[in-house]
Amino acid sequence: MIKIQNIKITTKLLLLIAIFLIAIFTRFYNIQKVPTFIHQDEMGYLISAISLNLSGSDIVGTWDPYSLSPVSPMITALDEISTQLISPFYRLSLNNILAGKLPFIMISLLVPFFIAGIAYEFTKSKSVQMWAWIIALFNPWIWQGGRMSVDASISFFFYILAGYLILRLKNWQKLWSIPILFLGFYNYQGHKLVFIFWVFMFCLYSIRPYLSFSKDLKSLIKKSNFQKILPSLIVFIFSIALFLIYTLIQLPNHESKNRLKTFYTPDSLEIVSIVNNNRRLSLDSPLNSLIINKYTVWTSKIFERFTETYGFRYLFLSGQEDHAPFTIWNHGIFYLIDSLFMLFGFLYLIKEKRYGLMVTLLFGLTTTVIPSLISAEKAYFYRSSLNIPLLIILVAIGISYINNFISKYARYFLYLIYVLSILYFSYLYFVRYPLFSSKRQYFSDRILVEYLKRIPSTQEVTILTPEPEFSVTSYLFYTDYLNKDNIHDIQKLFQTKNYKINNISFSKSCFPENVNEARGIILNRWDTKKCDGDEESTLIIDKIDEITPNTNNLQMKEIGDAGTVYDIFNDTLCENRELNPYLRIHESSQFDFNNLSDEEFCNNWISKFVKPN
C-alpha cells in the first residue's frame, strides 16, 4: 500500500482505475468508424447544434432555442433542448463526428457513478455500490449509447442524476434535483410518460424513514416528521406541475402532439382487426362480446409486450433484432451471466426481508416500460431504457450476495466468465456490427457524400430521393460545409425546400424512362417513384427525340444483402475503372474514406451493373 497526501493507493484502487481506463478506451476506440453511420435522428440534432452556434437557430432557421419547443420536425428532431446541450461541443477544435459524440461518451462514463450512488443509497452496501459501477461501465446498452448521439441518452443521464440527488441530499438540498429533472424532462419524448412515476419512486423511498404508517391520513400526518418530508414533497409536486403544464399547455401547440395519434390504444386498427377476426372464427355465443372485445384483446397485447420487454431473449440473447442500426442484432442489452445475478439479487431481497426495496424496484421496473407498452410500434431499446439502472442494481446485489457464500476460486471463475462476456460483446460490436448495421437508409448517404466530394465542382449532379432533406443534412455534415457566411443561405434552402448546393441538386422528382439522356450525373435511390401518366421529371433532358433503354451504369449497393441503394447514370468518376459486381467489405481500413484514393473508393464502394439472366 502506498500513501500520497492522505490518499491510500491500494491494489483494489489501482484495479478500479484500470477498469475505468479500459471503459474509456471502449468509448473512444475507432469512434470515427464505429458506428459507420450517423442515424437520421442523430443527424438532425448534430446539424442543428452546428447551426445553433453559427446562427442562433436550427438548420431550418425558424426555431427559437429558448422556446422549449421541439426542433423542426423536418429533420425528425423532436425534443426540446438536446440541441442546446450538444451545441457547446462544436466550439471545440474537433471534427464534426467526434464533437457530436463527445457529450454522449462523457455521459456514458459518468452515469455509472450515479447508478452506483443510487445502489448505495438503496442498500447502504459499498460492495453493491462498487459492482453497480463496474456493471454499468460495461453494460451493452450504456456502452453502445455512449458511441451514438441519441437524445434518449441525455434524458437517461439527467433522470438518473436527479434520482441520486433526491436520495443523497438532505433536507432542502433536495431541491437541487428540480433543475436536473427539468433538463431530463425536456429531452427524450419517450421518457416523459414515466416522469411522475420516476420522481415518485425516489421521493417516496427518500422519506420512508420519516413516515409513521397509520390507518388514517390524519394520524399519518400527525405522527410523521413533516419537516423532513416537505422537501421531497415539493420535488414531487413540481414534477406533477411540470407534466401538467407540458401536457395541457405546451404539447397542443407542438408538432410532438402528432405522436399522441400513434399510441397503442383499444381503438387502434390492429386491435379492431383482431377482435373482428376472432369473432368471425368463433361459434355464436353470448359470451363472445364479453370475452372478445377491444379491451380484452388490448390488455392481452399489452401483457404480451410486457413479457417481451422482460423476456430472456430480449434482455440476454438477441435484444430487439429489427433495431439493428441502434444495437447489436444478436446480443441482449445485458450479458447472459447477468441473468444469474439478477435471480440471486431477488433471492437476497426475499431472504433478508428487504421488502421496501423490493417493492420500490418492482414499482420502477413496472412503470419504466410504459412507453413501450403504449407505443404504436414495438420499440423497447430506448423507450424502456429507464429500467436498465434498476436491473443493474439488482445484478450488483446478486453479485455481492453470491460472493458471501462461494469460494474464492468460484468467484474468480464467475469474474472470468464476465470478462469473456465483455470480450465477446467487443468482438460483435467492433468486428461484425459495422457491416451488419450499415442499412440502406442510414449508411447509404455516407457513401453518397463521399462520392459527391470526389466529383469536380463544375460537374452538374442530381440526386433523386424521396427524402432529400436527409441527404442534404448528411452532405452538410460530412463535408463540414456550414460556416457563418453561408448558414443563412442554407436555412433558406430548407425553408423553400429547393435543395441545391453549388452544382449539386437533391430532388424529390420522379425517375424518368430516358434518364440516360438527362444532363449531368444522376443518382437515383432505389425507392424513388417512376414517372408515369402526366407526371414529369424535373431533370433537364438534352435529347428528347429518342428514348434510350433504361440501363443502369453503376451502382451503390447495401453491404448486408448487396441490394442496390443508388443507381448512378452518366458517371465520370468510376466508369473507366475495374469494378466488382458486388461489394467486398472486410477490412476496417475500407471505412477510412479520407485516406482512400478515388480508385480505392470506386473499387471498394461502387459496383458495376450486372444484367439478370
Q: What pLDDT, in 10s, does the model give residues 460-482?
A: 999 999 999 999 999 999 999 99
Predicted confidence (pLDDT) at residue 545 exceeds the cutoff of 90: no
Q: Which H or E run includes 65?
A: none
Q: How far apart are CA 323 and CA 377, in angstroms?
A: 12
- Reported as a single tens digit per residue, the pLDDT across 269-302 is 889 999 999 988 988 888 888 899 999 999 999 9
Residue 209 has pLDDT above 50, yes or no: yes
Q: What is the mean predicted confidence (pLDDT) over 4-16?
A: 78
Instruction: Please identify which residue in the block is written with the cell numbers 432555442.
Output: 65
**What is the chain's length?**
613
Percent of the chain with pLDDT over 70: 90
Q: What is the pTM of this model?
A: 0.92
Average pLDDT score over the chain: 89
Asked whether 473 and 43 are in contact (CB, 8 A), the reply is yes
Quick check: helix, strand or coil at residue 522?
Answer: strand
pLDDT, residue 221, reads 55
Contacts 24+ apart (CB under 8 A), 534-537: 535/510, 536/510, 536/512, 537/509, 537/510, 537/511, 537/512
Q: Give the integer Cα–Cα distance in Å for 395 and 391.
A: 6
pLDDT at residue number 438: 72
Question: At 324, is the pLDDT very low, low, confident or very high (cuts 50, 70, 90)?
Answer: low
* pLDDT of 596: 94
Lowest mean pLDDT, pick from 71-75, 104-108, 301-305: 71-75
Average pLDDT over residues 47-57: 95
User: What band does 496 get if pLDDT is binned at 50, 70 and 90?
Assistant: very high
Beta bridge partners of 608: 554
pLDDT at residue 514, as a whole number = 84
pLDDT per residue over 144-166, tens digit each? 999 999 999 999 999 999 999 99
Tally of helices (H runs) and strands (E runs) in the chain: 26, 9
77 versus 47: which is more confidently predicted? 47
As a whole number, mean pLDDT of residues 519-535 equals 88
Report whether 159 contacts 197 (CB < 8 A): no
The confidence score (pLDDT) of residue 259 equals 66
Amino acid found at 419: V
Residues 51 and 502: their CA atoms lie apart, in Å, by: 19
- What is the reported pLDDT for 550? 47
pLDDT band at 534 (very low <50, low <70, confident <90, very high): confident
